[in-house]
Amino acid sequence: MYNHPCEYCSGGRVECVVMPRELIRVGKTGFVALEQAPIGVCTRCKAKYYHASVIRQAESLLHRRRGRVVKVPVGRFVEAG
């Protein structure tokens, strides 16, 4: 699934890391948290790569509204001055 040179830094190698929880953006407005997802991570620059099967599963969760749904507070950053 992974194990290829990094396209971003050209010096690292992409290795498979099973993430306890990974937040994945789906489309322009959707986010899905996948647990135990196999993610490609560069050994040098830490760039992340998502296999098509991971993206498909994230899209399926978002569109079917399956799994747990957690409300997340959103606020605007205001610089202290």
For 30, the token pair is 């959707």
- Residue 23 confidence (pLDDT): 92
User: Which CATH number does the domain housing residue 51 bear?
Assistant: 3.10.20
DSSP string, 6-50: -TTTSS-EEEEEEEEEEEEEETTTEEEEEEEEEEEEETTT--EE-
Cβ pair 12, 44 in contact under 8 A: yes
Nearest to 32 by CA among 2, 76, 66: 66
**Count of structural domains within the chain:** 1
- What's the whole-model pTM score? 0.76
Q: What domain range is 10 assigned to?
A: 4-64
- Residue 66 confidence (pLDDT): 66
Q: Which residues of the chain register pLDDT less than 70?
A: 66
Cβ pair 10, 44 in contact under 8 A: no
Could you tell me if residue 70 is inside a domain? no
- Residue 6 confidence (pLDDT): 96
